[in-house]
A and B are shown apart, each in its own frame.
Chain A
Amino acid sequence: GENVEQHPSTLSVQEGDSAVIKCTYSDSASNYFPWYKQELGKRPQLIIDIRSNVGEKKDQRIAVTLNKTAKHFSLHITETQPEDSAVYFCAAPYSGGYQKVTFGTGTKLQVIP
């Protein structure tokens, strides 16, 4: 199976600063790494994903980097805004031929206005 560890568990930043969340995984065959954002009482929603044929992917203020050798990937949020406050989950698939995704334990991000 897949073991995913996520750090930190909580993160507070001032509005406008950057936030970085890191995840490590165990299954070297994994090659798809999504990040989900979950606002309080709402469903998790995909915000960005990366496949192992690239090392970095950006979408406006959000970027994800992947280091397959070290088996870790990170979420970077720049110019944080209060609406970025939420719980963020990384995930990695179990390479069993279909999508059985293992989630990290989550990072609660608080952006202080």
Chain B
Amino acid sequence: GAGVSQSPRYKVAKRGQDVALRCDPISGHVSLFWYQQALGQGPEFLTYFQNEAQLDKSGLPSDRFFAERPEGSVSTLKIQRTQQEDSAVYLCASTQGSSYNSPLHFGNGTRLTVT
């Protein structure tokens, strides 16, 4: 497709369940980012990949959060033992290059609700 694709669009998990969120970036985009957006807030940085290398994971809230991009294209954000505070929209974004003045292309996000 032409844009960043995320799935599922909505996910409801019971507390304690594991979830996996998928991001398919724009083809050829080197950089991939995951953001967490709580209701009424701006996106908060979680982690950054340049190709398959995870260069920054400083925004991951806890060791229950894990992200990978094994072949430098599709990425998966996994949350283990979900908690209610994990409820948010998880946005994926990609950029063509690796420099900081490239605009982010966002997906529509996955809205995670933990009950």
Q: Please give the residue numbers on chain A whose beta carbons come within 8 Å of chain B beta carbons, in ascending order.
A: 6, 31-32, 34, 36, 42-46, 49, 51, 89, 93-106
Contacts and interface: CB of A to CB of B under 8 A. Distances in A.
10 contacts: A6-B42, A42-B108, A43-B91, A43-B107, A44-B104, A51-B101, A94-B100, A95-B100, A99-B31, A99-B101
Contacts, number: 69
Contacts of A99: 31, 33, 48, 95, 98-102, 104
Contact of B44 (A31, A32, A42, A103): A103
- Chain B binding site: helix, strand, loop or mixed by DSSP? loop
Given A98-B48, A98-B99, A43 B42 contact: no
Contacts of B103: 34, 46, 49
Nearest to A108: B40
A43 B9 CA distance: 12
B22 to A, nearest CB: 16
Given A43-B108, A98-B99, A103-B42, 11 more contacts: A6-B42, A32-B101, A49-B101, A49-B103, A51-B101, A94-B100, A98-B56, A99-B102, A100-B45, A102-B45, A103-B35
B70 interface: no
Contact of B42 (A46, A93, A98, A104): A104
A31 B48 CA distance: 20
A51 B101 CA distance: 8
Interface of B: 4, 31, 33, 35, 40-45, 48, 50, 55-56, 91, 95, 98-104, 106-109
A51 B31 CA distance: 20
Nearest to B4: A43
Contacts of B95: 99
A98 B55 contact: yes
Contact of A93 (B50, B101, B108): B101
